[in-house]
Every structure is written in structure tokens, then in C-alpha cells.
Amino acid sequence: MFRQGFAIAVLAALVASPAASQETVLKSALHDYRIVTVAEGLVNPWSMAFLPNGDVLVTERPGRLRIIRGGKLLAAPVVGVPEVVSRGQGGLLDVVLHPNFASNKLVYLSYSKPTGDSAAATTAVARGTFENDRLSGVTDIFVAQTKGAPGHFGSRLAFDKDGLLFVTVGERMVPSRGDLEAHPAQDITNHHGTINRMRDDGSVPTDNPFVGKEGARPEIWSYGHRNPQGLAMNPATGDVWATEHGPQGGDELNLIKKGANYGWPVIGFGVNYGSGAAIHAATKKEGMEQPVVVWVPSIATSGLMFYTGDKFPGWKGSLFAGGLAGEQLARLTIDGQKAELVETLVRHKGRIRDVRQGTDGFIYLAMDDRTGGPTPILRLEPVGSR
């Protein structure tokens, strides 16, 4: 049964003014914490990856991969990044390390890849070797079969415990009109609105649900999504969780199941922007999955992370979801395959594009500015104990 975000009581008094000092102590249900600036001057940072040597790789949506070293943003971008279509919501998006990065140095990037004329793009995943502050041998391992407006690229990446790579792809803003079940997100012969599963070289595992089905894209693991921009593996169970943007209302947290249909645009909890007109046929339908949590109104979910560190012991095992329009960090507790939104942190500090756990056990946030102005990487640090 889903739990609506607006119905959950916030458990603590939270952040005061955005102009408050970094030394301001903030209160939550289990931990007092402060927010510290790690590095400044980034433009539309989308994702972060933490290297064993303490460096942080950060993607900037306009098409740059940056390095934070010793608390400073290096001036020179990383050489070797593929060409991106930086238009609308497109650009250089996620970055993750191979599970065996320490030995193979492989880095994975998702991006909006040019297709035909310069304005058209689709979601793609490339991998390359990262050494001496540069990428080499960069090759696409996945190119989604989609087309549409310059938005809703999905593009989150995550490896599971078996070393298989999951890739989210948005429905590309294709309008929901007429026969809702004829929408591309309901059609597994393309990658619109899908979560995909593949080996680390892009080849398809033989146990994917649609392998051998005529016309189906064999990479597809689940479908019927709108724009999933949060993706995380539960390290305790191996379960796959994803957040996706609803329209006006109806952001979702979903437990991702093999071969399942998540209903877009047939079912959902949002309405059309502006007019408030109905989009969906209903909020539920036989054969379509229900979300575990729904946010109404939307917080524009983006970035998802299970916390496993020791700096915030009371939060260990919690799931954290960033919010763009909502300018917040949501903390959820997980009980098996159930989730509950228990508190909202970091209110009104800006749009949170990504949330990650650093190798040091702190929680890092990539902040985003809609106008492309410079923004920081922030870090949550504990203050005292309870």
C-alpha cells in the first residue's frame, strides 16, 4: 500500500534561512547535523562518484566531467568525455564506477547522445578507463531506442551485487493522448520509460524477462515508467528501488520487479501541468504495479541512496531521496519491501540533483540551479550525539 508524502508528519524542526551560517546546527529525529560546502562553482552538477584515493568525479550537464581534489574543484575538465547534446534536460548525466574500479579503472557515463541532426538525442551509456585525470578508450555500451522532446532522459546508473548494470530511460515527454495503452512507454519494442539490465560490457543476460520475445528490446527489465531519475540497490537484500518524476503531482518510489509494468501513462496520481486536467485512466489497474510511496504534491525526485556508513548510525539502512522543485532531502525507512517517509531534511537550500554517500561515510549533495548559475557540492556532517 503506498503512503502519500503529504500525509506523513515531518518529525523535526529543520533548516532555517538559506543564508544561515555553515555552523548552524540543524535538528532531525535522530541526529543533529550541519551542512558544509565541499566545493563551489559547478554548473548544473548531475552526479558524483567517489574514487578510492579521495577524489570526487562530478558530471556537469553542459558536458564536462570535473574533479574535486582535496576540497578544491580542479580548473581543467577531464579529457575524453563523449559529445553530448546539451539542450533542454539533456547533457552529461550520471557517473558510476565499475565495482572493480580499483583494478580495472572503468568509469561509466550516461548522456544524451546525438542522433541525426544536432537537436535530436537519446539516452546512451559509455564506459572508459580513467587514469591520470583523463578518460581513454571511451565506447558506447548502450544506446536507447527512443525519440522525443529534449527531456526525460532518465539516465541513472547502478550496479547490483552481481555486477550487472541497471540503466533508467525516460519516456521522452511523448504526449499521453488517445489510447493510453498505445503509448511508447507501454510498448517493449522500444526503450521509452524503461529500466534496463545488462552486463558490464552492455551485453544482455540470458535471464532478462523479454529475451527471445519477438520484437522486444532484450535489455528491458521493467517498463511503464515516466522519468526515473533515482536508482539504488538495497545492499541488505539486493532489491532494486527507483524514484520517478510524476507530472503535476504523483512522484513515485517503486520497488523494481523483473518484467513488471509500472503503468505510465495508464495509471498514476498526477495531472496535467497548469490545467490540472486528468492524464490517467485510473490510479490502479490489474497487471500494473502500485508505487510504494507517492509524493503529492511532487518534490521532483532525483538522486537516491541507501546509507550504509557509520557517521550517522541512526540513519543506517535508510533510503535518501533528493528533491529538485521540493528543495529537500527525504529520509525513508525500509522494512523488507515496504517503505515509509519519516522526515524531510535540508529544506530550502536549493534544488538537490543527486545524493551520495562518500567513502568517508558522510552524505554529499549535488545542488542544481535551473538557470545554470554556479552551485556547490554540499556535505552533511553530524554534530554531537543523541
Could you list the mean pLDDT of each consecutive 10-residue stretch along the chain, which spans 386 residues? 40 32 79 96 97 97 97 96 95 98 98 85 98 98 95 97 98 93 98 98 98 98 98 97 95 98 97 89 97 96 97 97 96 97 95 97 96 95 76
- pLDDT confidence of residue 300: 96
Contact 159, 135 (CB under 8 A): no
Angle at 141 between CA 135 and CA 142, to 5 degrees: 125
Torsion over CA: 323, 325, 326, 328 (sign)? positive
Whole-number Å distance between alpha carbons of 170 and 176: 14
Q: Which residues in 231-261 are b (16+ Cβ under 10 Å) and which e?
A: bbbbeeeebbbbbbbbbbbbbbbbbbeeebb
Please list the alpha-helical segments (H only) found in 161-294.
Answer: none
Strands 26-27 and 32-43: antiparallel
* 348 catalytic residue (yes or no): no
Which CATH number fits the domain 3-382, given the four candidates 3.90.70.10, 3.20.20.80, 2.120.10.30, 2.40.10.10?
Answer: 2.120.10.30
143 Cβ neighbours under 8 A, 6+ residues apart: 113, 122, 123, 124, 125
- Is residue 244 within 8 A of residue 227, CB to CB? The reply is yes
Considering the candidates 152, 183, 192, 280, report the single residue annotated as catalytic. 152
